[in-house]
């Protein structure tokens, strides 16, 4: 029987290849325990969606294994959330993004960031995520601050997203802790803070070498 616990990982700043590899590792190894990973960037990086053409970026980019558009990372707070149909309706994209963004919205209110959730998509020709508005994105003072993308495999789902607000080190931890708490309350399960083991880091580094630092992967399209 699967123990009903949300694994919460408040991770350290890492480079783009390792951040993407760790998300993929958690997704691949998912065994019925929902996992929320909050993570950061040790410098400026660009990630592009799985189906995007590589020529939209000149250099220093990593292709995600999820969809979506180009995202510029540095001071944003990023997250991944892996879950299965035992806990969440993984087959309804609208419901998924609505639920997760409402939980982020609730968490941001603690910091005086009273964002609004978009109720329709706004067409705009751009390859950059923050310049394209989709239904359920979060806006603050007229700017998009939260967008997400996802990938489903059978009955499990990963949602990746970036929260483009500036919080200092202490408030980042408070945000992470409260976001985990809000998700666990929504799922009606407990939170357990569990960092990556040395073995998990080892396997993720293998994915970095084989995929996210591989020219063939990053220039797939």
Tens digits of per-residue pLDDT, 168-186?
Answer: 999 999 999 999 999 999 9
Structural domains in the chain?
5-85+150-215 (3.30.930.10)
Q: Which three-class secondary structure state does DSSP give residue 18?
A: helix
Q: Extract the tokens encoding 12.
A: 């350290």
pTM: 0.91
pLDDT of residue 122: 55
Contact, 96 vs 134, CB < 8 A?
no
Q: Extract the tokens encoding 10.
A: 């408040």
Q: What is the mean pLDDT of residues 193-201?
A: 95
DSSP state of 134: -
Q: Which of 19-28, 51-60, 72-81, 151-160 has the lowest mean pLDDT?
A: 51-60
d(C-alpha 24, C-alpha 54), whole Å = 20
DSSP state of 201: H
Q: Which of 1-15, 119-133, 143-157, 179-193 has the lowest mean pLDDT?
A: 119-133
Beta strand pairing call for 190-193 and 5-14: parallel
Count of all residues that appear for the chain in the document: 221
d(C-alpha 8, C-alpha 2), whole Å = 16
């Amino acid at each position: 029987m699967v123990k009903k616990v949300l694994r919460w990982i408040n991770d350290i700043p890492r480079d783009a290849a390792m951040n993407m590899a760790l998300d993929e590792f958690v997704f691949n190894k998912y065994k019925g325990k929902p996992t929320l990973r909050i993570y950061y960037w040790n410098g400026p990086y660009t990630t592009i969606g799985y189906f995007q053409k590589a020529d939209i970026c000149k250099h220093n980019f990593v292709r995600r294994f999820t969809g979506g558009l180009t995202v510029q990372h540095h001071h944003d707070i990023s997250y991944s959330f892996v879950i299965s149909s035992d806990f969440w309706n993984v087959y309804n994209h609208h419901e998924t993004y609505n639920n997760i963004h409402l939980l982020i919205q609730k968490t941001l209110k603690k910091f005086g960031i009273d964002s609004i959730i978009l109720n329709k998509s706004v067409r705009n020709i751009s390859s950059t995520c923050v310049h394209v508005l989709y239904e359920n994105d979060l806006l603050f003072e007229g700017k998009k601050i939260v967008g997400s993308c996802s990938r489903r495999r059978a009955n499990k789902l990963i949602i990746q997203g970036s929260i483009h607000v500036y919080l200092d080190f202490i408030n980042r931890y408070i945000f992470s802790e409260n976001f985990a708490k809000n998700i666990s309350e929504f799922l009606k399960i407990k939170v357990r803070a569990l960092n990556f083991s040395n073995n998990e880091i080892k396997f993720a580094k293998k994915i970095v070498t084989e995929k996210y630092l591989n020219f063939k992967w990053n220039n797939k399209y």
